[in-house]
Structure 1
Amino acid sequence: MVSDQGSSLPSNSKPAPSKELTARVLSALVMVAIALLTAYWGGWPFALFWLAAGIAIMIEWTRMTAVEPRLPVQGVLAVGLAVLTALFLANASLSVFIAAGLLFLAAGTLLARGNGNRIWAASGFLYALPIVLVPPIVREHPELGILGLLWMFAVVWATDIAAYFTGRTFGGPKLCPPISPKKTWSGFMGGVVAAALGGVLVAWVGQKFGLGLPFGLLGTAVISVVASVASQIGDLGESALKRHCNVKDSSHLIPGHGGVMDRLDGFWAVCLIAAAVLSTIHSIP
């Protein structure tokens, strides 16, 4: 979660700050290690890692929004995400891929009870899709590959860490009090600056090893800033959803971080930026 200087909802019992930070750091280190290891492997281990993340996000989404009947809807949507991952690994045609996605989207949506539940079920599936598909696509892309993936990680992690600590250190005016009362503009700006530096550093180190991002160092800095802003907007969007659903965390799966949505809300937004970058690359003759 980006620029998380405090939860968006009050809690009756909060752990001691030192214990909370310790749990947060240890959990983050474990997740970083798994993400980097699977990224190095690529292929099906990496795709399955993000499939698991996407299914967890879909389950948290449908649970928070009280979709009914919950388990049947979650089961259909989870199978749909798994089928799309299998089709990606099998290099299926785009038409087959789109047809399968629409089929499972329609099935899960129609299975939900009432218009409100159907909207939440459909949006949960669509929200999970970028997490499931974009990282494996970037990893396998000939012009982005593992360096593009490391750029995504660096931008999100730099934004997260810098926003957290600069916000707590400098405080100041609130970023968006109605949604997340403890996030500050100082944290926001600290995250943006750190993301630009982190993104350029990844691109520069990549050049030293004969790898490169397709936009050069200056272009990478600009895209990193855009991605950092998107990451923090994604965080605020998830905070708004939690306020709407009157929950503190999307789940309690990850110690110190809450749920998978809480951890990947910013990365989800950067996945959208990466998808836009992919579209731009393909549009250049």
Structure 2
Amino acid sequence: MVADQGSSLPTRPKSTSSRELTTRVLSAIVMIAAALLTAYWGGWPFALFWLAAGTAVMVEWTRMTGAEPRPLVQSILAVGLAVLTVLFLTEARFGLFLLAGLVFLVTGTFATGGGANRIWSASGFLYASLIVLVPPIVRDHVELGILGLLWMFAVVWATDIAAYFTGRTFGGPKLCPPISPKKTWSGFVGGVVAAALCGVLVAWTGEAYGHSLPLGLPAIAILSVVASVASQIGDLGESALKRHCNVKDSSHLIPGHGGVMDRLDGFWAVCLIVGAILLTIHFTP
């Protein structure tokens, strides 16, 4: 999630702000280390890491949106996400993926009471499925592999960090006050520039060590800009959902950060772009 920039709230004591920043940084270090370590391992450890992340996102989504009966709905959708992971690890055909996804999507949807809540349950399963599937697919992709995954990480993390610090440093006009009153256009631009630079740096470093992505550096720069914009839109989308549900954070699972969904909203948007590209390539003769 792209961090909030600036503040219209009363100034808090420096000691409190310092403790919160320390907690936030330590949590971020732990999460980054876990993501990179499992990415290096690949296979089951990496797939299970993202299954856990996607399941947490689904639980937070259904809790925020009020899906009932909650234990039943969450259990059905969690089993569905686990089945998708097993199908990926066993290299099942695409048709079986689609069939299994539809079965659990429909089952979880109709287990939910109320028409509007059923839509929320279905969208939560689809949202979490991207988190569960796209990173492992990229990691195992013959032309992308760990370098493609590192590009995704770099673009999202660079956007997040640069948007936070440039927004707080330069301030200025607000990006979208009705949804997120603290975010600024300076933070938005800073995030985009940092993402382009880091995306190209990852690709260039990979080439220096004998690995390459299936795009040239100019195309990587453009795609990094698109991904950064998508990441920030994903962040705003989750902020809008939280405002709709009248909650501040998706949960309190991660100290200093809120919930898993709060951390992965921007990454989810990049997964959507990468997943759409891979699907297009898969079905293009």
Q: TM-score, normalised by structure 1?
A: 0.96
Which residue does 1:144 correspond to in 2?
Answer: 144
Which residue does 1:224 correspond to in 2?
Answer: 224
Shift of 1:276: 2.8
Counterpart amino acid of 1:212? S
User: What is the alpha-carbon distance in structure 1 between the residues aligned to residue 206 and residue 278 of structure 2?
Assistant: 19
Q: In structure 2, do the counterparts of structure 1 residues 6 and 30 end up closer, same or farther at CA, with 3 Å as the change threshold?
A: farther
Percentage of identical aligned residues = 77
User: What is the alpha-carbon distance in structure 1 between the residues aligned to residue 162 and residue 256 of structure 2?
Assistant: 17
Q: Once superposed, what is the RMSD of the aligned Cα atoms?
A: 1.8
Counterpart amino acid of 2:176? C
Which residue does 1:250 correspond to in 2?
Answer: 250
Contact 2:6 2:167 in 1 (8 A): no
Shift of 1:266: 0.2
Q: In structure 2, do the counterparts of structure 1 residues 7 and 37 end up closer, same or farther at CA, with 3 Å as the change threshold?
A: farther
SS of residue matched to 1:16 = helix
Which residue does 1:53 correspond to in 2?
Answer: 53
Q: In structure 2, do the counterparts of structure 1 residues 106 and 7 end up closer, same or farther at CA, with 3 Å as the change threshold?
A: farther
Contact 1:23 1:256 in 2 (8 A): yes
Question: 269-278 or 166-175: which moved more?
Answer: 269-278
SS of residue matched to 1:131 = helix
String of CA shifts for 1:68-125, please: whole Å, max 9, x gaps: 1001000000000000000000011111111111000011000001101111111110
Q: In structure 2, do the counterparts of structure 1 residues 61 and 238 end up closer, same or farther at CA, with 3 Å as the change threshold?
A: same
Q: In structure 2, do the counterparts of structure 1 residues 284 and 121 end up closer, same or farther at CA, with 3 Å as the change threshold?
A: closer
Shift of 1:281: 4.3
Contact 1:3 1:187 in 2 (8 A): no
User: What is the alpha-carbon distance in structure 2 between the residues aligned to residue 235 and residue 132 of structure 1?
Assistant: 18
Q: Count how many residue pairs are aligned between Structure 1 and Structure 2.
A: 283
Contact 2:174 2:181 in 1 (8 A): yes
Alignment of 1:35-184 (within 5 A): 35-184=35-184
Contact 1:60 1:261 in 2 (8 A): yes
Which residue does 1:201 correspond to in 2?
Answer: 201
Question: 235-244 or 114-123: which moved more?
Answer: 114-123
Shift of 1:3: 3.6
Counterpart amino acid of 1:32? I
Contact 2:5 2:171 in 1 (8 A): no
User: What is the alpha-carbon distance in structure 2 between the residues aligned to residue 5 and residue 276 of structure 1?
Assistant: 30
String of CA shifts for 1:39-92, please: whole Å, max 9, x gaps: 000001000000000000000000001111001000000000000000000011
Contact 1:3 1:188 in 2 (8 A): no
Listed as ranges, the gaps of 5+ residues in structure 1 are none
